[in-house]
Chains A and B, each alone.
Chain A
Amino acid sequence: MKLALQLAYRNLVGAGLRTWLNVGVLTFAFLMIIFLNGILDGWNHQAKTDTIAWEYGNGHLLNEKYDPYDPFSIQDGHGILSEENKENLSPILLQQGSIYPEGRMVSILLKGIEVNQKTLKIPTTNFKENASAIPAIIGVNMATSTNLKIGDQVLLRWRDKNGMFDAKNIIIVDVFKTNVPTVDHGQVWIPITHLWEMTGLENHATYFVANEKFKPKAIKQWNYVSQKELLHDLDEIISMKKSSSSILYLLLLAIALLAVFDTQVLSIFRRQKEIGTYVALGMTRSQVVGLFTIEGTMYSLFATVIGCIIGVPLFWYLSKTGMAFPTSSQDMGIAMADRIYPVYGISLILGTVALVVISATIVSFLPARKIAKLNPVEALKGKIQ
């Protein structure tokens, strides 16, 4: 084994350009796989962190009549949670409404939130009371689509508890920037006390956001959905993106492996006399098969080494400075920052090394098997077709 490694190393280094071309394509494939997966992992990580910070908290306690996937359930999907169960929970009340920026009607989701909550990053401390209007905050995306700025007032209409329309002005007291479209797009945040008053639903909540100290327990008429369950959808979207991008890099890897395969086939054909010489000098045929296989494997080992030399500083730099992406988070439907900080985990790197090395070994072994059937006398004559 040690001998075969030593010989394979000499043969590859001695072969010069041909070796470095193969190593080059393998290195490229190797780096691409890590690069793309690192971005997706970084995005995933960021999307999760952001979504937890802005929306999910440590989990949601949902009113049993409220179904997050059914907007019609907002009407009746709320209730009062008994005082002793409210520990470590902060209430959110949802209501449908509409606003009239520049005279056109825009349907919105009204979200009542406690002014002094600390669980979510929604900047509720910026709710400043105003004599003439209800203080409201919106996200940048909402602000852009409705053309609203801080200080603007706009008419809000909603239905009260009896189903009657009521209207009042809201004043935009803050516009926050977030990567999480589901707390921004089409949403208006107001203090929950105002919403209680407006709708007559004193102390009602559609759901509660749990903080870290929250201990889930069974509460009648309320369902607890843990952070992990909430993140499930996000995981699915990312893993879908992963499998679609894997087609790209598997194709790349296939091209690189084809180059190795090709070199091996050609090499076995061109180096017949050498193979015959090895056998004449006392190598067994399986040793020669091993030698050629290891030569192929060694392309991938060289690629790993060169990949590390290029990749370690490059990926380290990228993971520190992040990468800008032109697509906005709204287009993606899930949280996506302007800048993604790729995450290059140890399992990603080791997994990729294993993938490249094992696949290179297999494609080297397949043509090398032919050597075992080779007649050394014919090989020495260089006669094999």
Chain B
Amino acid sequence: MKTETIISLENVTKRFPVGEGEFTALDHINLTFTKGEFSGLVGPSGSGKTTLLNIIGSLDVPTEGKATVIGHDIASLSHKASAKLRNHHIGFIFQVFNLLPVYTVFENVEFPLLLQNKTASERKKAVMEALDWIGLADYAKKKPNKLSGGEGQRVAIARAMVKRPEILIADEPTANLDAANAHSILKMMKKLNRELGTTFIFSTHDEKVMTYLERIIHLRDGKVELDERIKNKNQAS
């Protein structure tokens, strides 16, 4: 397996204005991620995990330093270019699944492909395949409010993966799930990681998640405290 850098962060710093002064949420972060990595950010609440994921996902820009994602300098992207980057290359999974409530499961998963102007038959094929990955092909016509938590998060995974993005960002994806569902979606993601070569970056407090990760980056007060590569019992499963 060749190690191709897909994300590189150089001295990435993020400051938020707070009252009179500023709050430093990220403090000179230097990290690189290679293609196909299955890694996670861990750290106490407020350590900057979400802030860092948002910058990698081009939803936010660093105050200082340089974040390069799939060859794009995040800070210099126009609104349009960053939207395109997200639409084609980056998938998001959130703690609350953020499914679009008025759409069916099928339509939710189809959404990114609609934005890509794919034809109806291309969309249908890709959506059904994605629903197969998560084992919810029979749920295509259901509305999100009819789904259980585990099913909802699986649909969110299908929606993030349907476009076969290079990078998948999952911000505390298991925080609202019970243990069985958490393991089930982690296994699914691990499988997709291996089959599609997608780079996964998690943020988590969850011990269960950590058992699947190949690399754990510990953040504290906006700084990288420890960056460890580990051999885990769930990695091969």
Contact = CB atoms under 8 A, between A and B. Distances in A.
Interface residues of B, number: 28
Contacts of A280: 57, 59, 86, 92, 98
Interface in A225-284: 273-274, 276-277, 279-284
Given A283-B115, A284-B79, A286-B79, A277 B59 contact: no
B221 interface: no
Nearest to B103: A10
Given A282-B112, A286-B79, A377 B101 contact: no
Interface string B73-109: 0000001100111111000101010101111000100
Interface stretch (A11-19, A113-121, A208-216, A352-360): A11-19
A380 B171 CA distance: 12
Contacts of A285: 79
Interface string B183-218: 000000000000000000000000000000000000
B114 interface: yes
Contacts of A279: 59, 83, 86
A377 B94 CA distance: 12
Contacts of A77: none
A277 B107 CA distance: 14
Interface in A17-48: none
A3 interface: yes
Q: Please indicate which of the listed interface residues B60, B111, B117 has the most CB atoms of chain A within 10 Å of its own CB.
A: B111
Contact of A10 (B54, B102, B117): B102
Nearest to A287: B83
A136 B117 CA distance: 82
A282 B115 contact: yes
Nearest to B111: A281
A282 B83 contact: yes
Contacts of B112: 281-282
A88 interface: no
Interface string A275-305: 0110111111111000000000000000000
Given A282-B115, A284-B79, A285-B79, A277 B98 contact: yes
A15 B102 contact: yes
26 contacts: A3-B117, A6-B114, A7-B114, A10-B102, A11-B102, A13-B102, A15-B102, A274-B101, A277-B94, A279-B86, A280-B57, A280-B59, A280-B86, A280-B98, A281-B87, A281-B112, A281-B159, A282-B83, A282-B85, A282-B86, A282-B88, A282-B115, A283-B83, A284-B83, A287-B83, A376-B59
Given A280-B98, A281-B86, A285-B79, 12 more contacts: A14-B101, A14-B103, A279-B83, A282-B85, A282-B86, A282-B116, A283-B115, A286-B79, A287-B83, A376-B59, A377-B54, A380-B59
